[in-house]
Every structure is written in structure tokens, then in C-alpha cells.
A and B are shown apart, each in its own frame.
Chain A
Amino acid sequence: MRVPSTFGQYVPVDSPVHTLDARAKMGVIAAFTLGLFLADGFLGLAVFAAAVAVVVRVSRVPARIAFRGVRALGLILVFTLLAHALRWEPATVMLVRLGPIGIDAEGLRTGIFFAVRIVLLMAGTSLLTLTTTPVQLTDGLESVMRPGAALGLPTGEIAMMLTIALRFIPTTAQEAERLIIAQSARGARFDEGSLVARVKAYVPVLVPLFVNLFRRAEDLATAMDARCYRGGEGRTRLHAAVMTVRDWLVLLLCGIGLVVTGIVL
């Protein structure tokens, strides 16, 4: 059995994007998101699309994988498109009309604009997880959250929880797949009947999944105790991440560039 690669899972190749500090990448993503929301024309979107394309290219992540997350958005995209494009008793020039409902050019334009924005947002942010190992990510998060520690926020513990969650995603996905196959072999059907029936069909998968997860949690807690885990304080790191000049430059230049693009276009 092969593991289905989870969406947004780290792609281990060497690239300038991969070696960038996680915090720099997070900053750039924040600027990208801000710029994307400030941009109010298709020209702006085109520039952001070009930026994503260039980064995908430089990161050496196969485009097929980089945009896989977009497919998962299918339903949301269709909904966004329709929510803007459909009009009640429209007055302007109609493209399609069905009784009181119709689609007009203006609505369609807005719908497409918002859909494209979601696609770009998804593609841009997934580049972060595609080029950063989960541990770099959580270490980065911890360091970004550090000011919160002064306010009594358990930042080290939050980062550890995230690490463990990320660590067990593939294991749990494998386990779920195994259970679905095993219960199918006992005649379970997951694709028949009403919505309620389908949800109920997953009980024989979810119950053992959780029973096994609790068992795992217990073992893991023992293992962490045995290896002297006692919270974030006093811990050192194998990879102590340091922001280099390159990281700072990328963060500042890309950050400013993206936000300005958003404001101007």
C-alpha cells in the first residue's frame, strides 16, 4: 500500500526557496496575502500569478504538486463564482437567464476575480508548507510567537503540539486507509444511501481510528517522558535557525514589493 501524499506535504528538494528561513517565508506570505487583498484589478492578480509562477519554478516543486491544493477547493470556487455571478431580476445586460435568475457580465467578472484570488492565495500559502519541513515551520512559528511567551502564552508547548500533529498526519492517514479497506472487505459501503447513512457508515472506521489514536497518545506520552521532555523551557535545538542577511533582504524586498503592487494595481 502506498501512502497518499497529503496535501501541502513537504517536497524534499534543494532550492533557494527551501533554504530560506521559515520566518522570512512567513513574512513574505503575509505580505503576499495583504497585497492580494489590496489589489483591485485583474492586472494586479496577473502580477501576483506571475510571482507565484516564478517562485514555483525557483522552488523546483513540480507544478502538479504545487497546484494540487487548488483542486480540493473546487466546490468553494464554484460557489464563489456563482455567488457573485448569479443575480435576481437583473437589470443590466444578461448573458444567461432562467426565470428570475440570471448571470450578467459584471457579476461574472467579480466572481472570476474572487475565484482567482482564492486560487492564488491557496497556491501561495501552500508553497510555504511545500518548501519548509514541519519542524522548521513550528520552530519558526514558535519564534514568531515568542513575544506571546512574555504574556504567559505557552509558545514552546504550542509548537510541540503542532509538531506532533504534523508527525502523525501521515500515520493517521495510513491507518484510516487501512481501516476503510478492512471494513469494505466486510461489506461496508461508504458511497451508498443518504448523507446520514454515509456518515453512519464511517462509524466502524472512526471508532477504531480513535481507539488506536488514544493508544498511540499514551505510548507517545510515555516515550516523551522517558526522553526527558518537560516543556519548552531550557530546550535547545538541533537546528537553531538564524535569520541571515539573505533572509532579511528577501523578506524586506519581497514584502515591500508585494504590498506596493497590491496598493498600486
Chain B
Amino acid sequence: MPLLAEGLSYTYETGRASGVVAVRDVSVGVDVGDLVVIAGTTGSGKSTLLRLLAGLLVPTAGSVTVDGVAPGARETRGAVSIVFQNPETQFFAETLRADVAFGPRNLGRPEPEADADRALAAVNLDPSVYGPRSPFGLSGGEARRGAIAGALAMGARYLLLDEPTAGLDADGRRAVRAALRAERARSGVVVVTHDPAEFLDGASQVIALAEGEVAFSGTADALYDDPSAYEGAGLALPVVVRVQLLARRRGLPLARVTVDPGLAARSLLAARGESL
């Protein structure tokens, strides 16, 4: 298992004798092709967990390894990339290309601009159009994708994102989701969010955190089979999913549960036809 965290705990120093425990005994594994969704309310420890996985915080207990090596070792530099909340507020360069090339240049890559162009193309921003543009004049969705490209350009095999669609309108969110879906062909993606609805379809693993501990861990299907622990963590399943679970409990033969209202309607109508 390439990006592996075992028994992670993290305690914030507060100056008092006992610090604040932000994360307690969490284990996660991420492979290329995975989409791991880490859900939790504010203060559940999800952002701390993401920083631990990125090697930005040193765990108080447990360990993180990247392809068998500690993060930060020379051979793994750039392998794990993190995208913070509202990453477009970190733009600083005159052109988007120069900004995206910042990471690979810092890592001493031979052709940072070429890395930048590849990353821009990966998030569906045509490098010949967007590369020379100022990063400060982009729309919300474009800026967000540009910032994500900044992480991808470092050659990330594991991409960690904190609330990647927050604050975007419907079009912006759709574009970001499409970019992440495409990215799974090359890397393992971890998304941390307080509202995981839009990532549940296609998630290879869902982890719900509550007060720093894993309240639920499993596939979306396992979650739908027994959402009690997930709901106990202060999270709510989308209404569309709940309709399907209720219908199933009442005997409608539904093979698959989805968050997409169109697909859900189709399978619900089909199942209803069958059972009548």
C-alpha cells in the first residue's frame, strides 16, 4: 500500500500539561487510482490528519510512509502534494504558468515550465490559453483548478485536498470534480470535506472522523448498509441517498445507490416497475 498511515495520533501543544488531542489512532491506506473521502465536522481533526499525511506535521505516535519511505525523504519529495482550502489565495506570480511552475522549480526539476503545462492540461486548462494569463483574473473554478495544478506539477502520486470545491458555484464544482476524476488515472486522491455528498459516487473508501477518531471506515456501499456510525459523527447522508435506502428497506430491489438524482430516479422507477 503506497501511501500508508498507521496508528497516527497528534496532540497540539497548548502550553498546559495535557495538549489538545486532534487525531487519535487513525490508519489510512491510499493507492494510485483510489479516491479516499475523509469526512467530518469542523474540529473533527480532518485537516490535521491531512497535514500529517502530507508530512507537514510530525505525528506524536504512529507513522506515515510513502512507497515504503518516510515523507520528506529525497526520493519522495513531491510525491505527496497537498492543496489547502481556498488555494487560489496563494497565487503570487505574474502568470499562471510561472505560479504553477513554482513547486517543480523548488524541487530542482529540469523543466518546471513543461511540468506546469502538463499539470494545467490535466485540470482542463489549456496551457497555451491560461499559461500566460494572470492568476488573479481567473473565475472561481478556473483559479481553483489552477491552484490544484500547482500541486500536480510537483509530480504528485498522492494528491491531498482540503475542501476542494468549497465556495465554488455549480459549474466550478463540476469542473473540479472532473479534473479530480481524471487525475485518479495517475494518482491516489484524498479529499477532506465536511460535505462529502458530491464525492460519494466513485469513492473507494469513506472515512468519517469524530473528535479525532475514526467513527466509520469503509466503502460507500458499506456506509449505505449501516450509516449509524457516520450519522453519529454529526454527518448526514444526502436526501437522494436516504430516499433510496428507505425504498430498499421497504422492499424495492435496488442494485446500486447513487447521489445523482437522475440516475437514482431511473433505478428507482425501474425497481418499482419490477416490484409491481
**Chain A residues within 8 Å of B, Cβ to Cβ:** 2, 178-179, 181-189, 203-208, 211-212
Contact = CB atoms under 8 A, between A and B. Distances in A.
A186 B103 contact: yes
A187 B77 contact: yes
Given A204-B92, A212-B89, A187 B84 contact: no
Contact of B78 (A187, A188, A189): A187
A207 B89 CA distance: 10
Interface of B: 12-14, 54, 56, 77-78, 81-82, 84, 87, 89-93, 102-103, 105-107, 136, 150-151, 154
A212 B136 CA distance: 11
Contacts of B102: 183, 186-188, 204
Given A187-B103, A187-B154, A182 B90 contact: yes
B77 A179 contact: no
B35 to A, nearest CB: 21
Contact of B90 (A183, A189, A203): A183
Given A2-B12, A178-B84, A181-B56, A186 B154 contact: yes
Contact of A185 (B13, B82, B105): B82
A185 B87 contact: no
28 contacts: A181-B56, A181-B84, A182-B84, A182-B87, A182-B90, A183-B90, A183-B102, A184-B56, A185-B54, A185-B56, A185-B81, A185-B84, A186-B81, A186-B103, A186-B154, A187-B102, A187-B105, A187-B107, A188-B102, A188-B106, A204-B90, A205-B92, A206-B92, A208-B89, A208-B90, A211-B89, A211-B91, A211-B92
A179 B14 contact: no
A101 B121 CA distance: 65
Given A2-B13, A182-B84, A189-B106, 17 more contacts: A2-B12, A179-B90, A181-B56, A185-B82, A186-B102, A186-B154, A187-B77, A187-B103, A187-B105, A204-B90, A204-B93, A204-B102, A205-B92, A206-B92, A208-B89, A208-B92, A211-B91
A208 to B, nearest CB: 5
**Which 9 pairs between the two chains have the least Cβ-Cβ distance?**
A187-B106, A207-B92, A186-B103, A204-B92, A187-B107, A182-B90, A185-B82, A182-B84, A208-B92
Contacts of A185: 54, 56, 81-82, 84
A62 to B, nearest CB: 10
Contacts of B91: 207-208, 211
Q: Name the residue among A182, A189, A204, A206 with the largest chain B CB count within 10 angstroms.
A: A182
Contacts of B136: 211
A203 B94 CA distance: 12
A205 B92 CA distance: 8
Nearest to A212: B89
Contacts of B12: 2
A38 to B, nearest CB: 38
A184 B154 CA distance: 13
Contacts of A205: 92
Contact of B151 (A186, A203, A207): A186
B270 to A, nearest CB: 47
Contacts of B90: 179, 182-183, 204, 208
B94 to A, nearest CB: 10
Contacts of A186: 81, 102-103, 106, 150-151, 154
Contacts of A206: 92
Contacts of B84: 178, 181-182, 185
Contacts of B92: 203-208, 211
A212 B78 CA distance: 27
B23 to A, nearest CB: 14
Contacts of A187: 77-78, 102-103, 105-107, 154
Contacts of A179: 90
A53 B56 CA distance: 40
Contacts of B13: 2
B71 to A, nearest CB: 11
Nearest to B99: A204
A88 B103 CA distance: 51
Nearest to B151: A186
Q: Name the residue among A181, A203, A205 with the largest chain B CB count within 10 angstroms.
A: A181
A204 B14 CA distance: 29
Nearest to B94: A207
